[in-house]
Structures are given as C-alpha cells and as structure tokens.
Structure 1
Amino acid sequence: MEETELINRIKQGDKSALNTLIEDNYQAVFSYFYRNTGNYHQAKDLTQEVFTKVINKRLGSFSGGMLRRIGIAQTLLNDPEILILDEPTAGLDPYERVRFRNILSELSGNRIVLLSTHIVTDLEFIAGQIILLRGGQVLKMEHTDNLISSVNSKVWSAVLSQEEFNQVKHQHRIGNIMQKSDGMEVRIISDKKPLAQAVLIQPILEDVYTYYFGGLHK
C-alpha cells in the first residue's frame, strides 16, 4: 500500500487502514520502548497501550492513569534525555498511582526524571535525590536516605487525650494522628522530647516535610 493512499484512508476514518499502520509499526515501536526501558514487560505494556488499547477510542474515555501512561509513551518517542513531570500522580487511585510510580522508577534508570509534587509518598518510592524549595529558594538538596536521616532523633510518638492534644498542637509540629481505644496516637516533630510519655520513632519522608515546612499548628 502506498504511503499517500494509506494516509488518505486513515484521514477518511478507514479502520482497516489504521490497523494496517499499527500492525506494520508495532514491532518497531516495541523495539524502541525495549531499547529505552530495558524492560520487556514494560515495553510490551507501553506498546499495547499506545497502539492497541487506544484504537477507536477517544482519549477522554480513558482513566487518569491510562492518560498519563499514554503521555509518557508519546514523550518517549522523542527519545528525551530528561523527563519533567508536574504532579503526575494527582487524582489517581491507589492502584494507578503504584503502577505509574513503578513506570517512572524504571524509566529513571537511563535518563534524568525531574518530578515536582506535593505527594510525599511518591518521592519516597521514586526519588534518589530530593530538592526542597521554599519561596523559590533551595532549602535542601540531598539523597533521599540522607534527607530522612536529617530528622533522626526528632520524630516522637505519644498517646494523648483530646485535652492534651489541644495543648500540644499549638506548641509543636504535628504529623499523622490516629485514633486509638486509649486516646490519640500523635506523631510529633520536635528537636527535644516534647512530653514525658513521648518515645522516639523511625522517621519517614513525610516527617522531613513536616519538620522543614511546618505541621498542623502552622
């Protein structure tokens, strides 16, 4: 089939012509994704999503996770050395968020991925290095493990009554709160022991954010 004829038939909405184009290019696109990701299953998934699952469907009919994967696949066709993503997992359900995070983690093996997000858990699973920005200025730039280590001995846990909590929340940075049968289990970020009953616990990346940007009382 001549290229001009094929293009004209596609423009006219000829589904068989579109299928021909997909079939002829499937292996080439798969090879491209495999060369860039180094992962057979990921390359296969990307190829199928772009050239098989999207056929005869409007983009608006896809889930947020699918749209983001299609966007990544289209971007990779240009063979970029740097990917810049802004809040890529916002609005995704837990399953789609995990799957998308895994795709980004694999892609970062052979290219630079710059990820801007307020969803701290995404960074904990994806980022090798984190830059904290405040007011347009670089506050910290560290490898993820070093950044978490910077708040060692600053993260405490205590079970409080509602009255105790009302006092503490105005004096210290507060992280996660969980209701328990015997009171409220409160995560407190403080340079010094905040309460007699408080015990040191292992920090996570969310504690870093709370420490540098303020917690509940802010």
Structure 2
Amino acid sequence: MGTLVIDQVTKSFHRQKALHNVELQIPPGLFGLLGPNGAGKTTLMRIIATILQPDSGTIQYNGIDWRHNSREVRRILGYLPQHFGAFRNISAIECLDYIGILKGLDEKTERKRQIEAVLADVNLTEHAKKKVGTFSGGMLRRLGIAQALLGNPQIVMVDEPTAGLDPEERIRFRMLLRRCAQNRTVILSTHILEDIQTTCDGLAVLKQGNAHQFSDMQDLAAKARGRVWKLTVKAEDYDKFASTYKIISTLGTASGMDIRLLSDQRPSQDAEPVEPTVEEGYLTWINT
C-alpha cells in the first residue's frame, strides 16, 4: 500500500473555478473529505476516478501517473458515486455479475468467487437473489460498496454514502467502511461531520474549492482554540447574543440558558473560555 499524492490540482467549469491548487497526501486507511455542499468534494472525487480531467496538476499512486495511465488507474480503483443506480428488475447477484464483467473479471469461476466474497463483506448474502428494486436505501448503499470492492481495488472512494439513511443504517455503513479500510485506502466524501469524526484516521476540509489537510481530529478542533466561550444568559437576552455571535449550542436551565458561542473576543464578563470540539473547529475554519 502506498500514499495517494494529489499535487496542485485545479479544475474550472466555464468561468467558475471548482478546485484551487488542491494538495493532499492520502495514506492507507479511512480518509475523510469534509465540506459543505458545493465545496468541490464531488469534483475532486470524479477527477480521482478519472471521470473528469483536471485543468492542471498531477495525481500519483505507487508510481502510477493519472495523466498517462488511466486504464491502470481504473484497475486499482473502486467507486461508489453519490447516486448509485442499478436495474431494479435484476437480482443483486446478477447486478454484480454484470459489473464484474465490465471490470474485466472475465473468468467465470473467479468472478463468482469474488461476488460471493463481497456480498458476505457487506452482509447481503441472504439477499443475493432478491430484486434490487426491493432493497432499502441502506441495502442499496451496501450493494454499491460491494460493486466497488469487486476486483480487490487498492483505493475505494465513496461519495456522500450515508445521506438519507436512518441513524441505525448510518452506523452500520460507517462500520462497514471501517472494515473495508483495513487493507486499502478508503476515501469518504461527506458534508456530515459525524461520519468523519467517528470513523476516519485523517481528513481534509474543502471550502469553495480550497482544501486544507489536518493531521487528526484534534488538529481540526484546535482551529477554534481561544474562540469558544461558555456562559449563562437570561432568556430575554438570548436574541441579543444570537444576533451578534455564532451560537453553537443552547441548553435551557432553571437559571437561564447555557450557551456555547464563537467569538474572537470575550463576549461578556461572565463568559468563560472552553476547549473546542471538532465541530467548533470545523465551523471556525469554514467561516473564516
């Protein structure tokens, strides 16, 4: 396993710049791409997947250069796009058999072995002969991961995989990604901080096409150090603080309202500085 190196990647659509000189070094394990909708995450994922070509910059992995070896790149990649579509009137096993052929798994016995293995990996073995149209949202995402794992790729990319899933399915899916990352690189693109915080080894945050890589979650949390305050205010004073500061959390108490807020300076004499959370670090970075 090696490191995926993204160097000075830029992409524009007409006059709108989607990515600005993105530089990332993504090691093996589970790596998160975090950012709000429209930040450039999907554009970067599609470039890594060779669906789009960058305007400039390079991507390399274990000596493979994306500019000159797109066929070899596709051989080592598995990709689950945000909207994974499959024919509804075929079974899961038929769907995977078709995708396996497209991936070049021409030997029938080996293709069957891999299909059985990936179905077991995503806990869909007992549903293998069911029509895809009968699958729940969570089952469909697991099928999407199964097709991405066909061919034993070294790099697996998943784009917004838990959006729209219920809490239980989201937890199951995060644990599935964690298992998949044990012997490969898995890149998880999402706007849901909890998905990154609970599963990823490293991360980068994108904002308006700009990317910044953080060494770990605490590195991101540290972006808000010295800017997070806790205080109790009277209910009638809450709107005044809400209109002036970015309030992170509120808890009603017998004595008023306990609030945490972001501010470069102490918002009142009663405010106490507190250690920031990962969420507060993320909000600070996104809003500066």
| TM norm. shorter chain > 0.5 | yes
Higher relative contact order (CA 8 A, sep 6+): 2
8 A Cα contact 2:220 2:282, kept in partner: no
Residue 163 of structure 1: which of 236, 242, 246 is its match?
A: 236
The answer on 1:52 being equivalent to 2:126 is yes
The correspondence for 2:193, drawn from 111, 114, 120, is 120
Does structure 2 retain, via aligned residues, the 8 Å contact 1:173–1:214? no
1:193–1:122 CA distance, 2 compared to 1 (3 A): same
Q: Is the 8 A contact 1:129 1:142 kept in 2?
A: yes
Q: Which runs of no fewer than 5 residues in structure 2 stay unpaired? A: 1-90, 98-108
Structure with a larger share of its residues in helix: 1
Q: Which amino acid in structure 2 is aligned with residue 164 of structure 1? A: D
SS at match of 1:169: helix
Structure 1 residue 128: Cα displacement: 1.9
Q: 1:28 aligns with which of 100, 113, 116?
A: 113
Match of 1:69 among 127, 142, 145: 142
What residue is the counterpart of 1:177 in the other structure? 250
Partner of 1:134: 207
Q: Distance in 2 between matches of 1:77 and 1:133?
A: 29
Mind listing any 5+ residue stretches in structure 1 that lack a counterpart?
1-14, 34-42
1:1-46 deviation line (CA, Å, top 9, x unaligned) = xxxxxxxxxxxxxx9xx9xx9xx9899348855xxxxxxxxx8452
Task: Tell me the amino acid that sits aligned with residue 142 of structure 1.
Answer: F
Shift of 1:90: 0.8
Please tell me the residue identity of whatever aligns with 1:173: K
Contact 1:173 1:190 in 2 (8 A): yes
Residue 268 of structure 2 is aligned to residue 195 of structure 1:
yes
Q: Structure 1 residues 59, 31: CA separation in 2 closer, same or farther (over 3 Å shift)?
A: closer
| CA RMSD between the two structures | 3.1
Alpha-carbon distance change, 26 to 82 in structure 1, aligned in 2, over 3 angstroms: closer
Query: Post-superposition shift, 1:71?
Result: 1.0
Matched letter for residue 210 of structure 1 = L
**Match for residue 151 of structure 1?**
224
Give the conservation status (yes or no) of the 8 Å contact 1:173–1:210: no
| 2:49 aligned residue | none
Identical aligned residues as a percent: 33
Q: Is the Cα contact below 8 Å between 1:177 and 1:187 reproduced in 2?
A: yes
Larger radius of gyration: 1
Match for 2:188: what amino acid? L
In 1, the alpha carbon distance for the partners of 2:265 and 2:158 equals 37
Q: Does 1:99 align with 2:172?
A: yes
Q: Whose strand fraction is larger, Structure 1's or Structure 2's?
A: 2
Moved over 6 A (4+): 24-27
The residue type equivalent to 1:157 in the other structure is K
- Contact kept? 2:232, 2:258, Cα under 8 Å: yes
SS of 2:260 mapped into structure 1: strand
Q: Which amino acid aligns with 2:258?
A: E
Work out whether 1:81 is the aligned partner of 2:166: no
